[in-house]
Amino acid sequence: AERLTGHASQSQPRRRAPEISGGRGWLNTDKPLSLAALKGKIVLLDFWTYGCVNCMHIIPGLKKLEKKFANQLIIIGVHSGKFSTEKETENIRRIILRYEIEHPIVNDADFAVWRAYNVNAWPTRVLIDPAGYIVGYVPGEGNYEPIDRAITQLAAEFRARGELNEQPLSLALERAKVGDLPLAFPGKVLADAKGDRLFIADSSHNRIIVTKLDGTLLEAVGSGESGAADGPSSKASFFRPQGMALDGDFLYVADTENHLIRRIDLRSHTVETVAGTGRQARREIRSRPPRRRSP
């Protein structure tokens, strides 16, 4: 029976999930994966393309599911690229490194898997039970809670039957093939000619780098760990900082994954949060204090 928003009604028979075939290559794994070999695992297919901002918005939710159901769930990203550059495996690899994606990805450049599953929108997630049958489809952003509930229920049902495979799956992550670099996918640069300073949003290292205009390092703001902690520059944390604006000795930072505006006091070397609630904003615009949630 369908437990999520699906293409079939509950009165229709269960549909066996088509095999994952026709891709141009795999990433984050040293060999192609198959549903047959994953029997006993709950599988969540994530149909996405990296040029779709809605697809990028759900990455944190996928990571939460991976962590919560580490031994029961396998997420497989089906990258069905919309534009020609999105079909290149090397470009997908760079996105995987930039966003620290740690589940297997198949490059579905020719839409073979997309067509097999009758998908028609980015992003779409398809939940498959441990017996290899489609549970349901979830198009669009959000919907973490119903997916979480459905996985919890599937795990309980198949564990009770003795049909749930809870052995960890070993993966060959792309990040393990790349050495640490001084900067990791820096998102923005801001030059201060008057102060002889250059500010670099070292986005995937979760920090702000301050140098002289000639590149001499002055300071690294942020511990490097993802988080939203305020306090001394060396202990504060960011989560993929991007845009910056300078006002005297105050540097304002768009802390994107935290949905916050942070302010760095370059004199006292401290960080504080000045706007945002830590949740993605709703679309309506209303006047309210900068840290109050929408009603």
Give residue 207's pLDDT. Answer: 94
Q: What is the pLDDT of residue 283?
A: 55
CA–CA distance, 260 with 253 (Å, rounded to integer) = 8
pLDDT digits (tens, 9 = 90+) for 76-123: 999 999 999 999 999 999 999 989 899 999 999 999 999 999 999 999
pLDDT at 6: 43
Residue 52, CA distances (Å) to 57, 59, 225 in order: 9, 12, 26
- Give the pTM: 0.73
pLDDT of residue 126: 97
146 Cβ neighbours under 8 A, 6+ residues apart:
3, 4, 138
Tokens of 58: 């759900």
CA dihedral 22, 154, 120, 98 (to 10 degrees): -70
The CB density around residue 244, as the number of other CB atoms within 10 Å, is 19
pLDDT score, position 287: 58
pLDDT at residue 281 in the model: 64
What was the pLDDT predicted at 183? 84
Low-confidence ranges of the chain (pLDDT < 50): 1-3, 5-11
